[in-house]
Amino acid sequence: MKHLLKADKIKLKRSSLPIIILLVPFLILAYELVNLTYRGDFVEKQAEMFQADSMWTYLLYDNSLLFGLGFPLAATLAASIIANVEHQANGWKQTLSLPISRVRVYLSKFSWLFISLFFSTTIFMLGMFLLGNMLGFEGRTPWKYLIGDSYSMLVVILPIMSVQFWLSMTVKNQAFSILIGAVSSMMGLFLAAAQTTRWFPLAYPSQASTVILQYEGLGYNQDLSAYLVISFCLGIILLVLGSIQFAKREVK
């Protein structure tokens, strides 16, 4: 497995994967910087209206929808890039003819997807810390919530990662998997808006923030732990099923 990871790392060196890793956190942080700089008075009034106990709390809430939409799209594009390295070079026949378990080949590439998105969420977390300190937010840095917002997202998109990765690996036309990923990301926002559909896994990314708007104002997300458990279990199941199906595919 170690040699597979190294081989995939070499293949991905010249891909556009690093751009995708940086794109989503940088775009969201740039938006927040502009928003808090040029609309500072409005933002402070809105934070008071939502009864946020600090600007840190408001920042976590404000970027949750953008992150919930952008991160699944990043997972979709990253999965497509990782799989397309083999598709473009017509390398599946050579790769799968090697005396290596196909499940290991599948899991090695999925590992790089997970590692890439882990770096993306880490950059986002550090970016929020720097943004808050640069703008002089009062109070102690809420590391528990910054870490929770960043890495909770990594867990709740596990089912999406598993499905998108399987699609990208099995369907050569990457436009199809990207279209499915874009549509499902948009659907997640609508599903999260209704009480009857917000428990669908597609709706979890936009609800994965540690801070949500409640009737009495901004407060801790009591449902977050349930989202994490459901997403982790479902993601692992889908990953196992995808790897089994991939192992049985015909080499073309």
pTM for the full predicted model: 0.88
Domain locations along the chain:
2-247
Angle between helices 102-134 and 64-88 (to 10 degrees): 140
The per-residue pLDDT for 228 is 92
Where do we find the tokens 């910054």? 146
pLDDT tens track for 97-140 = 666 777 888 888 899 899 999 999 999 999 999 988 888 887 78
- pLDDT for residue 76 is more than 80: yes
Q: What angle do CA 31, 180, 14 make, to 5 degrees?
A: 65
Residue 177 banded pLDDT, cuts 50, 70, 90: confident
Say yes or no to pLDDT of 89 above 70: no
Whether the per-residue pLDDT at 252 is higher than 60: the answer is no
d(CA 107, CA 247): 11
pLDDT band at 230 (very low <50, low <70, confident <90, very high): very high
Residue 3 near residue 104, CB atoms below 8 Å: no
pLDDT attached to residue 155 = 93
Q: What pLDDT is stored for residue 97 in this prediction? A: 67
Q: What pLDDT was estimated at residue 158?
A: 94
pLDDT digits (tens, 9 = 90+) for 145-166: 889 888 999 999 999 999 999 9
The reported pLDDT for the residue numbered 92 is 66
